Structure 1
Amino acid sequence: MSSVCWLWSLLLCSLTSAHASGGRWNCTESLLSGVQWVDAGDGHVVAIGQNQQAFRLTGSGWSNLGSRRLEHVTVGAAGVWGTDESKRVYKYISDDFEHVPGMILSQVDAGGDGAVVGIRLGFFGFNSIACLKKSFSTSVVGDGQLQWKTDSMLMKYISCGPQLGCWGVNMNRIYFTESFSPTTCESQGWRHVPGPNMNMIKVGRDGEVFGLSEGSVFRR
């Protein structure tokens, strides 16, 4: 089977006037081939490109992040993290991704206020939430056993913002918690949010939430 190489375009925009109402936006394209995943947080943009290589947006171009092949990458206050095909967890340290022991995750998110959260693989699709508190996530050096904490809420995708809580998807239904404590990994309880069935969901620094449902993007 032949593969299809997709080209992903990012619009980089800046306002040329101090007054947003009358200023002009200047936008340029930044291209990366074979994009499989993209994430933004803490002022950075990262992506998975061809051959499962991780990249970071630098200016208007892309720079390679080490040699590790990854399926998923995320960036935030806790740094740059990722998972590979075997669902092992990695953190970008110095010039490459280093394995972070202690948990197997299908997805990881570093967008919160220092803590790292992810989806722990379970039996028959019942996947729970795992959390690594800030004191561990910011001091990871690639060695030692870390104390991941699991949450009883079942989820298939999770995303946290630095100030305005975490969002998740379970059985395509949307859930929200006001916070996941970066120091204790305790949540304030999850509540269902009415909306379309979602495959995934992402929350930004300003609290805006984006979801993907059957190929359509929704914004809250």
Structure 2
Amino acid sequence: MPETTTLFLIDPDPLARRIVGRIADQMNLDFRNYTSAEDFVEAYTRRTPGCIIAEFRLLGISGIELQNRLVDEGISLPIIFVSAHAEIAFAVRAMKQGAITVLEKPVSEQALWDSIQHALAHAKRVRRMDAKHAAIGMRLAKLTSKERDVFDLLVQGHPNKAIANRLDLSIRTVEARRHHIFRKTGTKSIAQLVRMVVETERRGGDR
């Protein structure tokens, strides 16, 4: 059974709670409200899908400090900041660190709705990308160290003869390891192997 997508509001403002709660109900999403970032961190179950809507100015851990913590811990929940006192410098910093947007209070319900839709679409892309990278990692992990040596040279464009000379192997041994690499990674060509490497190196670049 798929997990319910959740809107996490971190804001003690009762008006924000009513607005976000109403949007969550209209979108058929779970809704959880926390008055502090500490309460959210303590309650959050890792990998629960959704997005965060957080006030910049929170008692204790601030909104921007929470964002830094999520980044450091590899938690990819998208975050929307709202505040009546959002300074431009903080807004720019938040956006550079991956915030979906920064909305000024009083927040337009339509603007918040649109931002949540964008955040959830972004989160879905990230989860799909993470799953793809995990699958690639599992396939590459099947390679032995000797097969990985051949793999690294193959994706650099070296032909079998050059690989054999470089690793002091017979061409037949290189061909055998190449066959094992294709079988274990589920690929049929060097181009597909290169694509796997490119996908792995791009991880995080589109977040």
Task: Report the TM-score when normalising by structure 2.
Answer: 0.21
Higher relative contact order (CA 8 A, sep 6+): 2
Larger Rg: 2
Task: Report the TM-score when normalising by structure 1.
Answer: 0.20
